Structure 1
Amino acid sequence: MIAKQEFNGKRGEARTSAILLDRFWVLQRSVDVEGADCLVQLTANSLQELTQRKNKIQAIGIVQSKFFEGRNQVKIKKEYVIDNGKPSLEFFALLHTDDENGNEVHYFFSSEEIVENFYLNSQKDHYCFSITNERKYSEFKNIAKKKLLDRIETAILTAEIERNTKFVNALYSIFMIPTQHYQDHPNFIYKLRELEGHSIVLCEDQTKGNRHLLEYRRDLFNNLGSFSWGYIGTGTYFLSVCILAHHLNGHTPTEELVLKLQHNLIGTLDTWDEHDITSSEIQKAIGTNG
């Protein structure tokens, strides 16, 4: 019996690899006597492209292959399908069999489709598949190779974007946490200063006496430069964004408010002088009463 299972497992692996190798680099790891995981990675067209990939997190697709006969049950461990409480983006199953004429047949499922269409065993630790009169899985049968490969490639690319974005956000999260004052009526002086040729803004809380530097809110406005005042341009727009983000207690200011502050106040200041701007002046410039 074990020998038969191993033989069928090898058949499933071979058929799955034959499909995947048209698009991906494929590695295999055995998961049980009935099948294997095929680990798929996007191919590279050059050594330069491959080298560039080393600078980011790469996602690996997992395609579990199985071979079944007739109406035999196929089981897939739940822990393979579910990742952090939801269907894994990069997991797929390719289930192979032969029809009554000996022709090759395959069924292709994403993890989400497994969750929706398979049934759990009594222990709730495996998703189970078997052909019955009620469960024919016709819509998953003999999916065209190009469509199948496209779905896997899209999932890998999507997973890479999500993981790299999550990593970058976690790495720089400390710089994205805005300083909040929690004051219903903000009472600050923003001291615009030049320090060794570099523009800085010191926020001075007139209520509590605290001081801190105004953060560069590059997450709100994509600017590689620093603060500026006394003209209408990128530097003064950036300063207006950052001052308003603090003034509004960490909330993102609208473009309308930013332009009002830039044109009514920040852009009108003497470029070569230092300035103290109060919260009330900001409120007047943007047309609010605080």
Structure 2
Amino acid sequence: MTSASEPVWLKIMEHGAAGEARTKAFLLDRFWVLERSVDIDGADFLIQLRSFSTRFTDAAPPRVGIVQAKYYQDQATTQYIPCRYVIDDKGEPLKGFFAVLHVGNEDQAGMYLLSSREIAETLDRSKDDPPRYIAGKKALDEKFRVLNRRQALDKIQHELAQRSSSESLRFLDRVNIPYRKVEKRDIDFAYTLPIPNSQEDIPRAFYDYRDKLRSLLYDMEEALVAIDNILKTTDPHVALQELEKLEQYRSSSHFSDGLTFTGYKCDLDWEYLKDGLKEHDRAISALDKVSKRAAFLDLSGRIKQELIAKVTEMDDEAKKGQSYFASLSFDHESLALKRIRLKLLDAGEPKPKKQFSAWQSVDDHFVDKKKRPATEVADDLWHELATEVLKFVCPTLDDEE
């Protein structure tokens, strides 16, 4: 039976099976994958972070993600996703829902990944009741295409990890002041992408700023708990005992009835972070204009991984006075990586003048006579190379600065 002679019902079944099989194989690389016997909330698959330390019977059970698989015969195909799968009653995206879209077959097969937020912000809604998101050409935009499976899985894992953390915190909140454990991973995935930034390392800066601000909560915690106990108790003696705990926070004589929770000023000058976010958003916008977001992120991620491996391998032989020199070759149209070369230049040896190259002095990576981690050297080299590639792909970025 030829493809053209197949009945419509058979094609639909084959396409659905193909989409689900490809999606399951993709997800199994990183997650535990569960399947439902019925399709509720658009869940072709339920995915769980791999962990032996959490159980579904725990007070804060592990969170699961919902993945819906769609198959497209070609780019002209249109699929639909019910809005209730994607957003809540207030129109807010439901964290943990993803759509994995497969297009074509064999050598022409392609995959696209959209989060609930990307679906809600990008796709149009149908006018029928109940409404559905129209997953057509807009859903198959280049920026959603999966060229690097590791980055795509990172995107899903990042959102599930955030969701698990925030849900668990509900059980730790105190009456007056919540417990807030700040971790470096607690940032939207878009700002973890391998996009160079001349202003700030956004994930690190965001963590540092919030961690310093969090110290105010520690200063306030004991006083606020005492105040809460005073408000809750019906025994005046207990209230007076709690009141004594507030004495250490009493302000100066100029304002004797006030409380002071910190003896130092907390830095609220986050200008570098603001500038870094602007630069990041400009880069994303410029890449989208030339339909190169996915291709650049794939190339940039591969550059970083290869440099980490190469620098780590050469780290023991690197000595003061030498310099790391990295050169990059890639396809200027598809941005596919060809090769990265890394070598050590001796002191006084001229640095080759080549396009898409970077160098770092070994001396700059010694602190107190000890070498800094090889990953930091690799990160500096990556930043130079990725910045040059970004400006090559998006030459208008220089004009915007």
TM-score of the alignment, normalized to the shorter chain, above 0.5: yes
- In structure 2, the gaps of 5 or more residues are 1-7, 179-228, 231-235, 252-256, 265-401
TM-score (norm: length of structure 2): 0.42
Moved beyond 3 Å, runs of 4+? 50-55, 214-217
User: Partner residue of 1:128?
Assistant: 134
User: Partner residue of 1:93?
Assistant: 99
User: Partner residue of 2:87?
Assistant: 82
Cα 1:168/1:57, change in 2 over 3 Å? farther
CA contact (8 A) 1:91 1:110 kept: yes
Q: Deviations over 1:166-205 (max 9, x none)?
A: 3432xx43x659xxxxxxxxxxxxxxxxxxxxxxxx97xx
Identity of aligned residues (%): 29
CA distance in 1, matches of 2:116, 2:82: 11
TM-score (norm: length of structure 1): 0.56
CA contact (8 A) 1:9 1:36 kept: no
CA distance in 2, matches of 1:26, 1:94: 14
Q: Report 1:1-290 matches (<5 A).
A: 1-29=8-36, 37-44=44-51, 47=52, 49-50=53-54, 54=58, 56-70=60-74, 71-83=76-88, 85=90, 86-98=92-104, 102-123=107-128, 125-131=131-137, 137-169=141-173, 172-173=174-175, 213=239, 227=245, 239-241=247-249, 247-248=257-258, 253-256=260-263
CA distance in 2, matches of 1:67, 1:143: 17
Q: Identify which of structures 1 and 2 has the higher relative contact order when contacts are C-alpha pairs closer than 8 Å and 6+ apart.
A: 1
CA contact (8 A) 1:108 1:143 kept: no
CA contact (8 A) 1:92 1:108 kept: yes
Structure of greater Rg: 1
CA distance in 1, matches of 2:155, 2:86: 16
Q: Which amino acid aligns with 1:121?
A: S
CA distance in 1, matches of 2:56, 2:18: 36
Query: 3-state DSSP class of the match of 1:256?
Result: coil
Q: Deviations over 1:112-132 (max 9, x none)?
A: 111122110012611111138
CA distance in 1, matches of 2:177, 2:241: 9
CA contact (8 A) 2:44 2:69 kept: yes
CA contact (8 A) 1:64 1:93 kept: yes
Query: 3-state DSSP class of the match of 1:127?
Result: strand
Please state how far the C-alpha of 1:2 moved relative to its aligned partner.
3.4
Cα 1:150/1:212, change in 2 over 3 Å? same
Cα 1:215/1:60, change in 2 over 3 Å? farther
User: Partner residue of 1:194?
Assistant: none
Which of the two has greater helix per residue?
A: 2
What RMSD over aligned residues (CA atoms) do the two structures have, in Å?
3.7
User: Partner residue of 2:200?
Assistant: none
CA distance in 2, matches of 1:63, 1:215: 54
Which of the two has greater strand per residue?
A: 1
Query: 3-state DSSP class of the match of 2:35?
Result: strand
Cα 1:150/1:84, change in 2 over 3 Å? farther
CA contact (8 A) 2:54 2:62 kept: no
CA distance in 2, matches of 1:58, 1:153: 13
CA contact (8 A) 1:98 1:104 kept: yes
Q: Deviations over 1:199-225 (max 9, x none)?
A: xxx97xxxxxx88716969xxxxxxxx
CA contact (8 A) 1:57 1:163 kept: no
Please state how far the C-alpha of 1:68 moved relative to its aligned partner.
1.6
CA contact (8 A) 2:43 2:66 kept: no
CA distance in 2, matches of 1:5, 1:53: 38
CA contact (8 A) 2:56 2:62 kept: no
